[in-house]
Amino acid sequence: MKVFLTGVSGQLGHDTVAELERRGIAYCGVSSAQLDITDREAVFTALRQYRPDAVIHCAAFTNVDQAEDDEEYCTAVNAYGTRTLAEACRELGAKLLYVSTDYVFSGEKNGPYEVDDPAGPLNVYGRTKFLGEQYVQELLSRYYIVRTSWLIGTRGKNFVKTILRLSEDHDTLRVVHDQFGSPTFTADLAPLLVDMITSDHFGVYHATNEGGCTWADLAEEICRIKERNTRIMPVTSAEYGAKAVRPGNSLLSKHSLDAAGFRRLPDWKTSLKHYLTTLNESAS
Ligand SMILES: NC(=O)c1ccc[n+]([C@@H]2O[C@H](COP(=O)([O-])OP(=O)(O)OC[C@H]3O[C@@H](n4cnc5c(N)ncnc54)[C@H](OP(=O)(O)O)[C@@H]3O)[C@@H](O)[C@H]2O)c1
């Protein structure tokens, strides 16, 4: 099997490459410098050359607040870039795994979202990722759409790294407490993506670490494990004042994972401890 992978320089792409290597699966991974997915001709050329059996599409415009000011480019990457990849997969008969997001939902549901609950994105990023999903479903039958949330990897910036840095020299940190979701460690998610593409269980899935929390809960747990005395001051999203509106509840149900026989990811607190140990080890 040969796999083509976008977004290798990102958090999830980095760990997915590591997993493909661990399993001895042949792959070609590209960053935006090697292949800009908004360049339609370049995408077709690259895929026709490599002729993959499967494409894992991790690349995206992921800056949710910046997307509000840059809707055109965000749409070009997340929606049209995904459409181009789906068209190339259709031509080559390759499967496509598209990584999507909890932000396709409005957050108004009381309880975890099922895969077939209606979407209702609140921000530009969520709308463009949902458009990407629609193109994949229109163009292909052999696809996996994997909605995940609150990604945390060793590569790049993320919430855990920010709290670790700020808690070094801040007595108090203001953190949002009215958004409830699930942190997801990319080292847990990557093996599941590879399980999927080596199976023929196509469809829409939700995949996050088990359990849920608010951003403030997550910050508290980081400070507790790292024995930092920083006080976490819970604030509302309105008080925090981020540019993009985010869903208040983005818990995702795992029924579709269970039904297809895929294993669920570990509890987020267990994975957070493991992640913090890994960060320590890579720093020393
Ligand atoms: N981060 C989250 O909390 C989160 C939550 C839910 C879902 N997701 C989804 O999960 C996936 C992985 O997220 P992540 O956090 O790993 O992303 P990330 O760390 O921000 O990395 C994004 C990747 O996309 C690439 N990229 C951006 N624009 C591109 C373009 N025009 N052409 C080709 N590549 C381009 C970047 O390449 P360069 O670095 O080379 O520019 C980078 O490798 C994305 O689909 C995202 O929408 C993320």
Q: Which ligand 1 atom lies nearest to the CA of residue 35?
A: 33
pLDDT at 139: 98
pLDDT at 156: 86
Atom 1, ligand 1: residue with shortest CA distance: 151
Instruction: With residue 233 as reference, give the H or E element that holds it.
Output: strand 231-235
pLDDT at 218: 98
Q: Quote the tokens at residue 283.
A: 């720093």
Gap from CA of 17 to ligand 1 centroid (Å) = 14
> If DSSP codes are grouped into helix, strand and coil, which group holds residue 129?
helix
pLDDT along the chain (284 residues), means of 10: 97 98 98 97 98 98 98 98 98 98 97 98 98 98 98 94 94 96 98 98 98 97 95 96 95 98 98 93 75
pLDDT at 114: 98
Look at phi and psi of residue 134 and say left if phi exceeds 0, alpha if psi is from -120 to 50, else beta: alpha
pLDDT at 280: 81
Chain-centroid distance of CA 164 in Å reads 21
> If DSSP codes are grouped into helix, strand and coil, which group holds residue 232?
strand
Gap from CA of 108 to ligand 1 centroid (Å) = 26
Distance in angstroms (rounded) separating the CA atoms of residues 88 and 220? 45
User: CB-based burial of residue 25 (10 Å sphere; 0-12 exposed, 13-18 middle, 19+ buried)?
Assistant: middle
Domain locations along the chain: 2-156+183-211+250-266
**What is the fold, at CATH topology level, of the domain defined by 2-156+183-211+250-266?**
Rossmann fold (3.40.50)
Each residue of 201-232: b (16+ CB within 10 Å) or e? ebebbbbbbbebbbbbbbbbbbbeeeebebeb
pLDDT at 283: 74
- Which residues have C-beta atoms less than 6 Å from ligand 1? 6-7, 9-13, 31-33, 35-38, 58-62, 77, 81, 99, 101, 129, 148-151, 156
Phi first, then psi, for residue 71 (nearest 5°) are -60, -40
**pTM for this one?**
0.97
